[in-house]
Structures are given as structure tokens and as C-alpha cells.
Amino acid sequence: MKRIIFLSFSFLLVLNIQGQQKMTPEMLWKLGRVNPLGVTADAKYVVYSVSTPNIDANKGSSVMYQLPVEGGDPVEITKNLIRDKNLSPDGKYKLSNKEMKVVKITGADRYSDLSKSNAYVFDDLMIRHWDTWEEGAFDHVILSTMTNGIATSEMDIMKDEPYDCPQKPFGGDEDYIFGPDGTTVLYVTKKKFGKDYAVSTNTDIYEYDINTKTTRNLTEGRMGYDINPTYSNGGTLAYLSMRRDGYESDKQDIIVYANKQHINLTAHRDDLHVESYRWSADGMHIYFTAPVNGTVQLFDVPVTSPVTAAPPVIRQVTSGDFDVTGIVGQSKQTLVVSRTDMNHAAELYTVNLADGSMKQLTHVNDDAYKKIQMVRTERRWVKTTDKKDMLVWVIYPPDFDPTKKYPTLLYCQGGPQSALTQFYSFRWNFQLMASNGYIVVAPNRRGMPGHGTAWNEEISKDHGGQAMEDYLSAIDAVSKEPYVDKDRLGAVGASYGGYSVFMLAGIHDGRFKSFIAHDGIFDMRSMYGTTEELFFVDWDWGGPYWDLKNKAAQKTYKKFNPVNYVDKWDTPIMIVQGGKDYRVPVEQGLSAFQAAKLKGLNARLLYLPEENHWVLSSQNALVWQREFYKWLSETLPVKGTAPVGKS
């Protein structure tokens, strides 16, 4: 009888697997994207929205829901039930931001009789930023007086200042908040202009007094990024901070401002780079997320009252092969968080703060996942050329058979100082790569947080050095497996990953048969002359190419510049370039493509004129996916995979 039951179960399992499909770009772009909005004031409900791309309309649609924190069925709502943090506690004022024209740059602004002029005139740097040309307008914080819920007057609390709040290009309304009693406004800005702005990361947190109309700098003398101010329910201020000016990837810590002192709660943990945080309901703890060992986990740091000089004991709350991507809110001894892994887009979970156990709360994509075969992810530890242990994620096709040989992709992460964890990308999607028949090798090479500050910082001024050795160590180690086809290896990546591909193309010594580089740096001299945030290239490369006495800079431009290795390019390469990418400007991709074609290589250019450093529109994203896998099918074919031991 037991044998019959077992055989029946096995038969049903086979039927279930056969009924599933491998992930496709079209299936990926039908998944709902969960955006948490918060937990209601009574701590009973979580509010979130789900956006779904509409390929035909080339845009997305969004629906809002409420769901009991204890679990249950979601209910569609039309009004956000989360209290508006931009409304003062007494309801008298409301905060917003608006672009205000401050500097005359356009021809039409400078000459009133030339209203149709589209000329720009610049006397200083930051002539463009991320994907927008500077036109003399700056985002300012607007304080509106409210009467019966209606704004009756507006005041620009940054009047005539050529500074931005929210911070460009990624800041939002988290850059400004009311003080606990509603009589002050805190806002984040970098009070620098032109060249000074381009070479600095020194943002500060300013306090504006509504009654006296005066402003003071709360973080004066703190030289790096100071961002994300929040108050506890008891009125204590916390914020995130980096120490050094000009270093955008410095260790980020949680600072508590108490008794006119700035107390660093996480400095003593060299392995923790804080990504996000939230006060506990009682104001006695701060919960935060940080990369650790190839994942992003939830941590708890106590905030004693009064704050003492002794380093607090930090507790890791969660653990597992997943990323905690955000902290939504608290309900008693439970936190609501968002979570991803390489097989699943973001969903909301509850976390038991006592033991770290997690329970899935939303199930937006469950029906889709029932039809999709999952892939297996594996941790490997690879010895580097300098005898250190490096974590490498290996992702296998859903129907992986170790008796066959598979084409394999080396994935090169961007950043360069960004964590390679259990993230779920709608472009660089490991599940999709593996589902197309490729083993994916994703090394936590030098420069990635989650393995200690030293590991993270070793990449600065060494972009083409040890990190390239780490890549090759990873692919060489995994290629020793009998199921990896050494004759079908490829390397792919974007941003610093794109730079890595260009660099590897000149030094790979015949390992790879195909490359894909998206928005990568090809010529560092040209990049230095056209990129906008110069603090990055000054810090990570050592400075400008014309500083002949600067050994670090000269090493960068000579030894680590991909353009200097084009004579060794001998492998098919696909190049992707965004037309509105002003971080890694268009000449980088065009120059690389032109060099490849003039050398007679099989090369393809995917040019996206309206996209920036990313690909944001639905149809362009699908073109990206289709061209990506078309190129791989042509240069690194799967062909049903070959049996091990046979060509």
C-alpha cells in the first residue's frame, strides 16, 4: 500500500513539474511589483500597492490594498490609510517640493526677446546630472499653510538657493520631515554649487524654524553623506551618515543625535554597512538592514537612554538565503518587511522579533510561480589569487542534469561597491538567465559590502586589478566541474560590470566566447571628461588623467583602462548604451562598438536613445531581454546541452 501511495505521489510530482514552464521575459514582465506604503496607526493593517507593467501601453498601472498584519485576505482601497508624514502633527502645515528657477542658463531665460532659443550657457560644472541637462531650476522644500485641509499659502524655505532638496538624482520626500512638535522642518541638501557640487558628497541636515524663519546646520563638520533623518516617538533624532567627503561608498552608519552629541551606533561593527533603518515603536531600538555574507539581513541595535559611550550589542534578527529589502512598520513584537530571493520578486513578510522567524504576508505572484520552474542557487567558496576566501553564487537551470555540459555565464556586478545578494532584478534576472539554459557564476568579488570594510574598499584605485583576478578565479574554479562546458563561457554585466566586460575582453586569455557590456566604461580619459559626479572618479581612480605626478591616477589610466587593451580583443561582443546616460555617457558605448567593428569582430550595438543608466520603459526592457538572449543563442548556444565527456 505504501509503495502504491509513493508511486502515485511521484507521478503527480512529475505531472506538476511537466506542467510548469521555464521563465521567459514576457512572464517576468507580468509579475506584480509590491510597493509597501506602511502600517496603520493602530498597527492592525499593512498598506501596499501592486504595480503591473502594461507592455502594450508601455507603462504600468497600480492598485492599492490593505491587509491585516496577522494575515488574511487583501482588500482593495482607493485612499491611503497611512498618515501623511508631510502633514504637521497639528495639521497646520504641509511639506512638498517644487522646482524653482534660480539660475539663468537657457538662452530664453537670459534674453527675454529670444523666447524660442534652446541654447544653454554655462559658467560652471554640473551642466547635466544623471539623465537631465541643468536648466537653472532646483527642487526646493515648500511649506504650505493648511486651512480645513486646503493649502492657503506657500513658502519656499530655500528661497533663491541653488541647491536641491530632495537630493538629485534619487532623493524623495524622505529628504524632508517635520520636527516632533511641528514647529521645525528638517531637510537634506548639499549646499554646494557647480564644480564644488560635482566633487563633493558632503550633504548635511538642516533645521528650519517655522516661527523665526531661521535655519541651522545640524551636521556641520560631518563631511560625508548625512541623509534620512527620522525621529523616534519620543523625539530623538537619528540619521544615516558616511564619514569621508568624496567617497560615495564609504561605510554607512546610524547616528543618534542626543544631548547635542552625534553618537554612532554601528561604527564598531566593521562588517556592517547600513542600507535602511527604522525606529522601534517604543524608541528603545533601531532596526536596520545591512548586507552580510551574500544576503541582506535584519538587525537590531538598542538605543539606551541616556545614550552611553559604550558600543551597543548589535543582534542579527534574520538569517537565510534571501534579502530583507525594506522595513515597513511594527505591530507589537512583529515587524513587517519586504523580502526577495533569486526566484521570487518582493513580497511582504512578518518577522517575529524574538526569534527571527518569518511568515509570508502577501501572495501577489503565487499563481504565476505555480506555473514557473524554480532554479537552484548554491554558495561556493573560492580561493582568490591572494589566498582569500570569496563567496560565489552559482545558479543552475531548473532542469539541471549533472551528466550534461552547460554553457556558463560569468556575471559581473555593477557599483563597483554594491552588494551581490539574493536580489531580484527585472533586467539582470538570474532566474531568467538560468531558465534559458545557462549556469550563472556570480562572484562577490573585491569591492562588495557584506564581507568587511577592507574587502569593500580594496577596489578603490584598483578597478582593473584584484577584482579582475577575482572574476577569473571564480570562473576557473567553477569551470572545473564536468558539467561546465569550457568551450561555451560568456561574461556579462552593466555599469562597473560593463567596464569589467570591456576589461576582461582584453585580458581573458581565450577563456570566453561571448561578451555583453551594458553602459560600461571603455575609455577612462574620455569618461573623466564627460561624467558628471566627479567625486566618484576622483576617489576611485585617484584623480584626473593630467595629474602626471599622481601615481595612483596614472596607474588607473594606463593599467586599468580597457581602451588600452583593444589590440587583444578577439571575441564577439554585444554593447548596450543608453542615450541619456550622463553617468557613463554615450561615447563610451559608441567608441567600444566602433573599435570592435573596425577590428573585424562580430559585434552588435543596442542603442536606447531615451534610456538613462537603466532601462525603465516596458517595451525597451523587453527589447533588451530579447536581444540579450538572441545574442547569447548566436554566440553561446545552448543546443539542448551536450552530454558530459562529449563535445
Q: Maximum CA pair distance of the chain?
A: 94
The radius of gyration computed from the CA coordinates of the chain, to the nearest angstrom, equals: 26
Could you tell me how far CA 93 lies from the centroid of its own chain? 33
CA distances to 17, 368, 435, 516, 633 from 619, rounded to whole Å, are 30, 21, 21, 20, 21
DSSP E strands in 508-556: the ranges are 514-518
Find the DSSP H helices in 89-146: 107-110
Sheet bearing 253-258, strands edge to edge:
226-231, 237-241, 253-258, 261-264
What does the DSSP assignment read for 556-605?
Answer: HHHHS-GGGGGGG--S-EEEEEETT-SSS-HHHHHHHHHHHHHTT--EEE
Asked if 630 and 574 count as a contact pair (C-beta separation under 8 A), the reply is no
Give the closest residue to 355 by CA, choosing from 300, 313, 303, 281.
Answer: 300
Annotation marks residue 581 as catalytic: yes
Indicate the length of the chain as a whole number. 647
Kindly name the residue from 276, 435, 495, 591 that is annotated as catalytic.
495
Which amino acid belongs to residue 208?
Y
User: Helix, strand, or coil here: 388?
Assistant: coil
Contact 290, 277 (CB under 8 A): no
Q: How far apart are CA 61 and CA 49, in angstroms?
A: 10
Burial (0-12, 13-18, 19+ Cβ within 10 Å), 231: middle
What residues does 77 pair with on adjacent strands?
Answer: 64
The three cell numbers locating residue 625 = 531581454
Please choose, from the candidates 369, 447, 440, 346, the residue with its C-alpha nearest in 3D space to the C-alpha of residue 636: 440
Q: Given 253, 581, 591, 618, which residue is catalytic?
A: 581
Side-chain-side CA neighbours of 290 within 13 Å: the count stands at 28
- C-alpha 603/C-alpha 631 separation (Å) is 10
613 is catalytic: yes
Return the active site residues: 495, 581, 613
